Amino acid sequence: MLAFRLGFLDIGWLDLLDIGLVALLIYQIYNLVRGALPAGCL
């Protein structure tokens, strides 16, 4: 099932779900790293 077409890319609902899950995973890893390191290191 096609969600929309972006130029030559056909983006489906599973693609959008995958992008959202990867973004959430990266955000969680960022928060984990930010909390584990002292503020001066960043």
Taking 90 as the threshold, does the pLDDT of residue 20 lie above it? Answer: yes
Residue showing tokens 């001066």: 40
Q: Is 23 inside any structural domain? A: yes
What pLDDT is recorded for position 18? 96
What pLDDT is recorded for position 40? 58
Q: Is 12 inside any structural domain? A: yes
Alpha-carbon distance of 2 to 15, in angstroms, equals: 10
What pLDDT is recorded for position 11? 86
Q: Is 42 inside any structural domain? A: no
What pLDDT is recorded for position 42? 53
Q: How many domains, in total, are found in the chain? A: 1
Q: Is 20 inside any structural domain? A: yes
Could you tell me the residue range of the domain that residue 7 belongs to?
2-34
Give residue 28's pLDDT band: very low, low, confident or very high (50, 70, 90): very high
Task: Indicate the pTM of the whole model.
Answer: 0.67
Identify the H or E element spanning 9.
strand 9-12
Q: Is 30 inside any structural domain? A: yes
